[in-house]
Amino acid sequence: MKRLACLILLSSFLFGCASKPTYSYDHDASVDFSELKTYRWYDDVYPSRDSRYRSYGDANNRVRRFINRELTSKGFTEAKSGNADFLVNYHVSKEERYSAKQFNNYYDGGVHGGVSTGSYGSSVAIGYSTGGGKPKTYAEGTVVIDLLSSETKGLIWRSIAEGRLPKKLSPSIRDNAADLLSKEMFSAFPPQ
């Protein structure tokens, strides 16, 4: 149950990037994408333990709703059963990151001093530093959408979004972020 809650939480965080996410795309150049017309969800064809966990939450419904919208708008049809031209799969992850950026370069607290001499005299300077700040933690989310050949099960297209996640996400913020992410992630599909 703990794993299920974690997966639902990660899926929810996936779509709420706090900073503008970065996107990358790749595809198999040997595939003629103009021949593809229908798709199915990988989880529906090849059930697994992960697919059972995904099916329990609103996050899975949100992911499917927005990806279905993008694929339908591009002329593809979801096949509810039987064979399809390609399979759609996704993966969501969240990782804690640390940032040690700080205003000064003094990592240790204490008294610091210096002496200088020059043509107009000499001087002594003494200062006190509280040391560097504590490292800050933040969450970074990654979304990967894979399209696989139904025949070979090989990867034919991939889109990746990565970005910093906000601390709090309401359902409306998640929906707005999912809307924007799905549009951007499918902006290069099908490849020309």
Q: What is the CATH number of the domain that holds 58?
A: 3.30.160.670
What burial class does residue 25 get, using C-beta atoms within 10 Å of its C-beta: 0-12 exposed, 13-18 middle, 19+ buried? middle
57 and 85, same domain (yes or no):
yes
Q: What is the mean pLDDT of residues 83-99?
A: 84
Query: Distance (Å, rounded) from C-alpha 65 to C-alpha 88?
Result: 13
Given this model, what pLDDT does residue 131 score? 56
pLDDT category, 164, cuts 50, 70, 90? confident
C-alpha distance from residue 20 to each of 114, 137, 151, 155, 163 (Å): 44, 18, 36, 27, 6
Residue 91 in domain: yes
6 and 71, same domain (yes or no):
yes
Q: What is the mean pLDDT of residues 127-136?
A: 64
130 and 145, same domain (yes or no):
no
Query: Distance (Å, rounded) from C-alpha 176 to C-alpha 174?
Result: 6
Residue 192 in domain: no
48 and 6, same domain (yes or no):
yes
77 and 111, same domain (yes or no):
no
Domain that holds residue 123: 101-134
Given this model, what pLDDT does residue 53 score? 66
The pair phi, psi for residue 189, each rounded to 5°, is -120, 140
142 and 128, same domain (yes or no):
no
User: Which of 18-22, 27-31, 162-166, 175-179 has the highest average model confidence (pLDDT)?
Assistant: 27-31
85 and 105, same domain (yes or no):
no
Given this model, what pLDDT does residue 13 score? 45
User: Is residue 97 pLDDT above 60, yes or no?
Assistant: yes
